[in-house]
Amino acid sequence: MTITCPRCGVEHEERFYGPCTSCRDALRAKFLGEGRDVEVAEYVPKMNVTPNAVALKDD
């Protein structure tokens, strides 16, 4: 299917609509992101429910 690249405006044979192969390669090179480790505090759930008096009752 012949499409016009929305980024550079050149007609290309592509399977799907979108940037052409050369534009995709340029975008990958420009916006190459590297993974990083993020330190976060340990999750401590909140206690929203108060204990039931019947459950705490001693026999």
Residue-level pLDDT at 8: 93
CB 27 within 8 A of CB 19: yes
Residue-level pLDDT at 26: 95
- Length of the chain in terms of residues written: 59
Residue-level pLDDT at 5: 93
Is residue 49 in some structural domain? Answer: no
Q: Write out pLDDT tens, residues 2-58.
A: 999 999 999 989 899 999 999 999 999 998 888 888 898 998 877 776 666 666 666
Quote the number of domains for the chain. 1
Rounded CA gap, 18 and 4, in Å?
8
CA 30, 36, 41 angle in degrees (round to 5)? 145
Return the SS3 of 11.
strand
Is residue 6 in some structural domain? Answer: yes
Domain span at 11: 1-31
Q: Which residues partner with 11 through β-bridges?
A: 4
Residue-level pLDDT at 43: 85
